[in-house]
Amino acid sequence: MTRVTDIENKREYAKLLVDMLPHVIHTEEENERNTAALERLLAKRDRTTEEGRMVELLMRPTVLRQVDLIDVFGAESTVSEFLNGKRDLAKSHIEKLSLRFNVSPELFFEQHPRSAISDVKPK
């Protein structure tokens, strides 16, 4: 794994950061911009160390914990019940989740196995 000390050209890396402005994605437009930037970097055959670091940064997944969803479900126990398959999503949960993740509420009506929510980690 590459470490910060492995960056050979700090100016090049700083320029990449300024050009791409990586941040938490909130809109479809931001998602498309970051995806396009990532695809450009992945298409390069001979990426520099700094470009490799940018790929790593853009591909790092966000991990949610149960406690991070309390604002959606109201209580950690309710989050736990949902994640363990003991509770279904209420209309209010679907509304809050669709707003939080900027997705259509329809997404939450599709049949997905509970194991598909494996990125949510206990606190």
pLDDT tens-digit readout, 68-95: 899 999 999 999 998 888 999 999 999 9
User: At which of 39, 59, 79 does a domain end?
Assistant: 59
Give yes or no for a contact between 118 and 66, defined as CB atoms under 8 angstroms apart: no
User: At which of 41, 59, 77 does a domain end?
Assistant: 59
CA–CA dist 23, 57 (Å, integer): 10
Q: How many CB atoms lie within 10 A of CB 37?
A: 18
Query: What is the domain range of residue 99?
Result: 64-121
Same domain, 53 and 77: no
Pairing of strands 64-65, 120-121: parallel
Same domain, 68 and 108: yes
Query: Pick from 39, 62, 63, 61: which is nearest to 51 by CA?
Result: 39
Buried b (16+ CB within 10 A) or exposed e, 15-36: ebeeebeeeebeeeeeeeebee
Same domain, 45 and 69: no
Same domain, 85 and 109: yes
Mean pLDDT of the 15-41 span: 84
Mean pLDDT of the 115-123 span: 54
Residue 61 has pLDDT above 50, yes or no: yes
Say what the pLDDT of residue 100 is.
82
CA–CA dist 25, 28 (Å, integer): 8
Say what the pLDDT of residue 43 is.
92
Say what the pLDDT of residue 1 is.
45
Residue 24 has pLDDT above 90, yes or no: no
Say what the pLDDT of residue 114 is.
52
For the entire predicted model, the pTM comes to 0.47
Q: How many domains are contained in the chain? A: 2
Same domain, 9 and 55: yes
CA–CA dist 64, 108 (Å, integer): 17
CA–CA dist 41, 3 (Å, integer): 19
